[in-house]
Amino acid sequence: MNKHTKTKNSHGREGKEITTIVNRRLFLRSAGLATSLGTIVIAAGCNDDDEDPMIPGTGDTVDLGSGDMGVLNYAYALEQLEAAFYTQVMQTPYNGITDAEKAILTDIRDHEIVHREFFKAALGDKAIKGLTPNFSAIDFTKREAVLGAAKLFEDTGVAAYNGAGKLIKDPNYLLLAGKIVSVEARHAAVIRDLINPKSADFAGDDIIDANGMDRAIAPADILAAVKGYVKDTLTGTSVGK
């Protein structure tokens, strides 16, 4: 496989772009979010009769836009999903939730709502509409399902911000993304520690590479991974361009 892509790569710029796409697909299929999404759906113990979460949204088509505004709308879309998720979690707490867990999940909910409202205000009339989430695959009564989904959303959020950083042109927006991504990483670590306390999982080898680096994933791949959780169809082909 490596040999094959190398050969293509030597054909110049166009060939390299094809290789990039191919590699990204391979990465996603073999290692990435498509797989973990599937795992979460199974872990969530969803009803077999539920609609397939991988079927694209049934709501509106929403274009995130281009350039920095596209990146901000991309972040706004993800924050909308996170905020809606934790709002639901606290409206219908899972069976056996402890006071400590309630406090943590309430904090996280409030952070995500602050992020969502901040982006909405910052984008003004450039903001995309309020999205309609689809959490039908998540059994909100079960701790394992809720924390598993929370882990997926937080890890995905971190990878999304890390991958979007280099698309941002304005240093002020880059700094803002930086201020938010580390909070998402804190959430990810704490959620992971709730799932498997006092283990290495808060920054586990399942996502951290051999250089001790977190993931950085491009918008197209993130949007593909979360599309089952939103009824609207998000298009982000011009984000950052």
Partner 1 sequence: MDIFKIIDQFQQIDGDAVGRLEYASRRHFMHKAGSKLASAAIPTAFAAIVNKAFAQSAAAVDVLNYALTLEYLEDEFYKAGNAAANLIPASDKAIFTQIGKHETQHVAFLVKALGSKAIAKPTFDFQYGGAFSDVFTNYKTFVTVSSALEDTGVRAYKGQAGVLIADPQILEYALQVHSIEARHAAVARRLAATLLGNTAMKGWITGKEGAVAAIYAGEDNMTQGGVNLKGLASKSDAAITEAFDEPLTKEAVLAIAGPFIKK
Binding site for partner 1 (CB under 8 A): 1-2, 9, 13, 16, 19-20, 23-24, 26-27, 30-32, 104, 107, 110-111, 113-118, 121-122, 158, 161-163, 165-166, 168-169, 171-172, 174-176, 178-190, 193, 198-200, 202-204, 208-216
Q: Is 67 left (phi over 0), alpha (psi -120 to 50) or beta?
A: left
**Closer by beta carbon to partner 1, 188 or else 226:** 188
- The CB-of-123 to partner 1 minimum distance in angstroms stands at 10
Q: Cβ closer to partner 1: 134 or 162?
A: 162
Q: Quick one: which H or E segment has residue 233?
A: strand 233-235
- CA diameter of the chain: 60
Kindly state the smallest distance separating residue 30's Cβ from partner 1, in Å: 4
**Residue 114 beta carbon to partner 1: minimum distance, rounded to whole angstroms:** 4
Smallest distance, partner 1 to C-beta of residue 168, A:
7
- Mark 124-157 as b/e (b = at least 16 C-beta within 10 Å): eeebbeebebbbebbbbebbebbbbbbbbbbbbb
Q: How far is the CB of 56 from partner 1 (least distance, A)?
A: 25
Residue number, 45 or 204, with CB nearest to partner 1: 204
Q: Would you say 140 and 94 are in contact if contact means Cβ atoms under 8 Å apart? A: yes
d(CA 41, CA 181): 25
- Among residues 46 and 122, whose Cβ is nearest to partner 1? 122
